[in-house]
Structure 1
């Protein structure tokens, strides 16, 4: 069966006894509406009166299993289903899970990206997670989705000081995670898109020095120091070899320079605006700051002829990439933010109540991974059972979204007798078909 074939991939990570409890938690997390607490899962799965309910808590806070290996299994499966050939495009970004409580040791105070703006700064208490997502086109949705497969907790600097540990910045976490992804997929071409937080020379240099480099596409400061390549070393020349050559003019003066060779490109479906014309210019250079590594990059300067956004610059460590390709890659970064919103709306991120460190480190990555698992399950189910899109007189839906994928998987799970929903001698109540279908839709589409 399709559902068993996907969820069963993770069975080797657990012992037989732990897997039985873990399966209940995974299926219950998909079916449960509202909060994704263990108690809510047990209620929807049936064993809410079981005296050994603490066994299910122990799957998260005590049982021996590797979330790292689970990430590898999920990534390999997603690649085989959605991106069997061609370069892999991934997105990396951090998100804040709003959590309070004295027992949550790793929480910190961060900028709230949702409530803050350029002129208004809002702080929030919570946990910071760094997530790597596979950005792939979903055929039946006719758009690209971000599928999380690798999520880690990135605590604040204050937390590490309290633990007397060396603080790891977001770029340090990103470097370790992407190196791990490269070890999982040693032969595939990988392009990672990120925002300006990851435009760090140490990160770019570490990824570009791999035997099979991981290319990064991100924003570039308009005042970045760009140089020509270092001149060849002359025979008998003494001294340390130079890292860079002559410094190039900055990007900011190129914007107003009348001799800048701008090229007009038309980007299809540019952030929901349809076909959009942009002016771009591009070249290669060495990005270097004193005391940091020197990294060869291709920079792309973008200007909007309509003036709807300010000129900005992008960089790519793949020097052979064209400006249009770099723009197309970077545009996919927004799907990472869409996925963060979807997992909050439909999979209960920020509703869980675990407070032990190990349970916290496992619960949120599992809920993030559920987004990808549901998408993979729906991809298999829709081949045999097409989507039944909810339409109304005031709303006509033409393409399925994640809520439809989740409803499709839920309907299939409700039809399976994989958990105790009622006793064998329960009273039967006849329900009109129209009323039953209404209840089914409300249950399957409940967030």
Structure 2
């Protein structure tokens, strides 16, 4: 087994109860090898980077993903506990929920479908992609040594396509149902904490928002400017017969409030506005009831946002807790952009979309493990010394004031390689200086094509 720094042992060993003793040895190889491997994250690449290219029983490492009995959901709970203890010990726990497409092809990948590619598409250009759809729940927490908020994945679920469910005789579960189950699972794991769930406009559905409200989760999403808003239902007089009222008088739409001259705007400064620093904006807010025929009635606080310099179009947000402050609602919502950053970093540095598994079990485990590796690397980097984790790969053409995930990954790799070098150095003093030989794993990482 590759020697590890002592400061990493507490985090790595926290996942040991998921496996039996024999499987845990192979699981450690996959975990450490996935951190050290550049390029494609295949099991063979992991074995090569660890110097086990001649391992005759290499199939045992493959079986960790496609056959071994271990519970990924229990691992997600362990990871969430580690993240909360490290980065969200006090205050509300802000979670981000979003889906992404993993571009994959192959006849034996049963769960794949044809979806709109959110990365390559725009409002005027539609691009389709064949792949797997994943729903991921992340902790949106400020990283002190990085100077910004990072989205740390801890629970990811596969959303099979409607065609795949129909061929297998299963009921298709929509995205909102999967997102609701993930959020309520986090609620059960953190029973005493104040949970804030941030999502994009796709989660602005009354059934989803009502489930979050009844589950004790404050949901913040975008709101349509033409949404039907009402006053709360008036008190019911005594002796009244019939069905009780669910709404009061109809309120003007947010589009009408945006154009009205008597709307009261308040100027606020939001720090960390989509990674561009502090931004001065104008907001207007009030409470209302959002209702649609045949759907649950949800009391909300709406927040209307506009830019005094007209650098972005007006937008509106909703919060299922009407008692929240409008400025805090906007501050929590702007953390959502880090979810897209995490998806991009996972593709660029952790090898998402480079896997080659076709087994259903391996597919359902590999991508969630790679996304969770983003959070594990962040936890390991937090255990390093300050000068090590704050080291940035800056250049004359690329000034970088704070470390990014690429710098954190490089610092963790450096610590692991340094420990291995010290562990394999000769203990007795030689009379002649030994000839330096580049280890086989270094040759594979540095010299072979990515």
TM tier, smaller: over 0.9
Contact 1:61 1:359 in 2 (8 A): yes
Partner of 1:266: helix, strand, or coil? strand
Which one is further off, 36-45 or 316-325?
316-325
Question: RMSD of the TM alignment (CA)?
Answer: 2.4
**Could you say which residue in structure 1 is the equivalent of 2:263?**
260
**Could you say which residue in structure 2 is the equivalent of 1:186?**
191
**Could you say which residue in structure 1 is the equivalent of 2:27?**
22
The 2-side partners of 1:398 and 1:333 are apart by 22
Which one is further off, 150-159 or 173-182?
150-159
Cα deviation for residue 383 of structure 1 reads 4.1
The 1-side partners of 2:170 and 2:245 are apart by 36
Q: Does 1:375 align with 2:384?
A: no
Cα gap change, 1:41/1:271 in structure 2, threshold over 3 Å: closer, same or farther?
same
The 1-side partners of 2:67 and 2:175 are apart by 28
The 2-side partners of 1:394 and 1:57 are apart by 42
Contact 1:46 1:422 in 2 (8 A): no
The 1-side partners of 2:174 and 2:55 are apart by 44
**Could you say which residue in structure 2 is the equivalent of 1:430?**
436
**Could you say which residue in structure 2 is the equivalent of 1:52?**
57
The 2-side partners of 1:41 and 1:358 are apart by 19
Cα deviation for residue 56 of structure 1 reads 0.7
The 1-side partners of 2:205 and 2:314 are apart by 21
Q: Does 1:355 align with 2:388?
A: no
The 1-side partners of 2:276 and 2:28 are apart by 43
The 2-side partners of 1:398 and 1:409 are apart by 19
**Could you say which residue in structure 1 is the equivalent of 2:279?**
276
Contact 2:197 2:219 in 1 (8 A): yes
Which one is further off, 70-79 or 236-245?
236-245
**Could you say which residue in structure 2 is the equivalent of 1:31?**
36
Which one is further off, 11-20 or 402-411?
402-411
In the TM superposition, what whole-angstrom CA distance separates every residue of 1:157-181 from its partner, at most 9, and x where no partner exists?
2222222221111110011011100
**Could you say which residue in structure 2 is the equivalent of 1:403?**
406
In the TM superposition, what whole-angstrom CA distance separates every residue of 1:389-416 from its partner, at most 9, and x where no partner exists?
3344444433211111111111121133
Within 5 Å, give how 1:285-304 maps onto structure 2.
285-304=288-307
Contact 1:128 1:153 in 2 (8 A): yes
The 2-side partners of 1:406 and 1:382 are apart by 14
Contact 1:217 1:316 in 2 (8 A): yes
The 1-side partners of 2:37 and 2:386 are apart by 25
The 1-side partners of 2:75 and 2:279 are apart by 41
Cα gap change, 1:428/1:41 in structure 2, threshold over 3 Å: closer, same or farther?
farther
Within 5 Å, give how 1:187-336 maps onto structure 2.
187-210=192-215, 213-336=216-339
In the TM superposition, what whole-angstrom CA distance separates every residue of 1:402-440 from its partner, at most 9, and x where no partner exists?
11111111112113349x99999xx95338xxx99xx89
**Could you say which residue in structure 1 is the equivalent of 2:430?**
none
In the TM superposition, what whole-angstrom CA distance separates every residue of 1:136-191 from its partner, at most 9, and x where no partner exists?
11111111100000011011222222222211111100110111000000000010
Cα deviation for residue 346 of structure 1 reads 0.5
Which of 56, 62, 65 aligns to 2:67? It is 62
Q: TM-score, normalised by structure 2?
A: 0.92
Which one is further off, 111-120 or 258-267?
258-267
Contact 1:45 1:421 in 2 (8 A): no
Within 5 Å, give how 1:62-81 maps onto structure 2.
62-81=67-86
In the TM superposition, what whole-angstrom CA distance separates every residue of 1:251-302 from its partner, at most 9, and x where no partner exists?
1111111111122222234334444332211111111100100001000111
Partner of 1:150: helix, strand, or coil? strand
The 2-side partners of 1:386 and 1:91 are apart by 25
Contact 2:145 2:389 in 1 (8 A): no
Partner of 1:245: helix, strand, or coil? coil
**Could you say which residue in structure 1 is the equivalent of 2:10?**
5
Q: TM-score, normalised by structure 1?
A: 0.92
Q: Does 1:176 align with 2:181?
A: yes
Which of 105, 109, 115 aligns to 1:104? It is 109
Which one is further off, 65-74 or 274-283?
274-283
**Could you say which residue in structure 1 is the equivalent of 2:89?**
84
Partner of 2:131: helix, strand, or coil? strand
Q: What is the count of residue pairs matched by the alignment?
A: 435
Cα gap change, 1:118/1:61 in structure 2, threshold over 3 Å: closer, same or farther?
same
Unpaired runs of 5+ residues, structure 1, are none
